[in-house]
Amino acid sequence: MSKVDINIMTEEQRLALEQEIFIEAYQVAIMALVDMGGSDGALKYLHHYCRMSGHAFALNMSKMFNLQGSDLDRIGDLCYLYEMLFHHDMNEIERTPNKIVRVGATKCLWQGSPKEGCIGGHEMVLNGICESINPEYQCHFTQMISKGDPICSYIIMKRRD
């Protein structure tokens, strides 16, 4: 029995391939959800799970990186970390005591995904992060590549109820 020689790939190439396979699996799952329940149905199904993913991410990364500071600062640091791990090229253009504004994603790994994938895997997860730290905060995307915008951008601030 012959074995595949994985050593023909560099570690970097192997990690990139793993990431591509993961993204493709996510896209397939999202497309199946949309086929089963339409866009609204898929987002409804995803909401709880993506929110819980954001909670888990916030809890685990806060411990791992010993994040300190105000609620908004911790939320901003966690969102930055999430985007760094997914290779989003977003930049923080404003941080005040009341809000954070991030813009510029043009190299998003999910940009070829259905919009429901971005809404679930980015917006809903970031809102789970916000909710985990302080439910008064929310993340609102103002632009999203998968919805036809040229870049992604969002604002994190307290809810306006």
Q: How far apart are CA 107 and CA 143, in angstroms?
A: 14
Residues above pLDDT 70, as percent of the chain: 98
Mean per-residue pLDDT of the chain: 92
Give residue-wise pLDDT tens across range 14-48. Answer: 998 998 898 899 999 999 999 999 999 999 999 99
pLDDT tier at 1 (50, 70, 90 boundaries)?
A: low
What is the DSSP pairing of strand 137-143 with strand 99-105? unpaired
pTM of the model: 0.90
Element (H, E) at 52: helix 11-65
C-alpha distance from residue 42 to each of 69, 115, 152 (Å): 36, 11, 21
Tokens coding 99: 């809000």
CATH class entry, domain 11-158: alpha beta
Q: Which of 78, 75, 102, 76 is nearest to 89 (CA)?
A: 102
- How much is the average pLDDT of 50-69? 97
